[in-house]
Chains A and B, each alone.
Chain A
Amino acid sequence: MTKEHLSYLRKLKKEKFLVFTSQILIMIIFLFLWEFLSNHKIINPFIFSSPSKVLSTIKDLYLNYNLISHIMTTLKETFIAFILGITLSFIIAIILNEFKLLNKIIDPYLTMLNSLPKVALGPLIIIIAGANQNSIIFMALLINLIVGIINIYNGFNNIDPNLIILFKSLKASKLTTLLKLTIPASFKTIICSLKLNISMTLIGVIMGEFLVSTKGIGYLIIYGTQVFNLNIVMSGIVILIIISFILYKLVIFIEKKLLNN
């Protein structure tokens, strides 16, 4: 390795270190400020809680309120809705892509559905699917499906037209073109849409839990509001942030694994 190369690597390392320490520092300052302002009643401690109270509430939730099973419930719902969501969006995107005329016909309806705030459908969903986990998954699906379909469909449509001509010149059948061109060529787009999809799914699940559930993090937050214990609400939000961060990182990790092959 040359000297220049080494110094370049050193520079990279230095930058990475700087970014990381700054990030940790911001976190520490934020927590410290929060604790300080709350302790000195500069912000209302009843409403905004404080890191130490959040911590002790989480401990209390863990010991007395079965926190782990709430987390598992939310995770399970998210996982089911996520898998169902990407599978369904993939299938629907393929259908829309293969039947362009159908696509043209239903396009305005898709747009309408897309612009509708899905929470508005909540009460209807509960009536149809019942006040249970099905409603929650249904709600999450409503939210992640549209995004998933649009992303995957756009991926299908961004394929190099010259490749399509190549397949045409080789007289490839529709199925062959789908399997050997359309899907592999948009593999990257599909994988990259998973990131957005997992966030959307979690939003849907929490929204669903707000509406119907008797379990899960969304339920904990609503419960906290109902008994006016804002420490629980804040703890729920903190746990949610951690969960969504971990899920996001997990998806990125899977993405990397898949794209490297």
Chain B
Amino acid sequence: MKERFILGFPPECSDRPITYHLIKDYRFKVNILRAEITPGKEGRLLIEAEADSKDFERGMDFLRRERVLVYPLKRRLNIDLERCIHCGICTAVCISGALDMERRNWQITFNVAQCVGCELCIKACPLRLIQLNFLNNLNG
């Protein structure tokens, strides 16, 4: 699985190589997207991490043990419906049923609640209209 979150490092743990352990011991593939480190204050790191689900769980436990604060970022699938031609190609790969065809008007429908984030529709859309956006809900 692939997730994005913000790691908050309390001042007392800012000198420990947390990301190193995530990579080395928990086999996370980490991509650091943004870092804010102010001496004497909580440091913040925006990362994208990929790991298989077992390693992911263990890595999360490790972070909690190290008193690192984890703020998950909400992901939201965004479909550019203005440009959508309602071909329905994306619906064919959406096994969760989040994307479906409304069979009276033959337009696609998207039910966010059913989306499992498999990202197949992103690759399937021949017009490249589907994107995964990350909402930063840290500041409200």
Partners in one complex: no
Taking Cβ atoms with an 8 Å cutoff, the residues of B that contact A are none
Taking Cβ atoms with an 8 Å cutoff, the residues of A that contact B are none
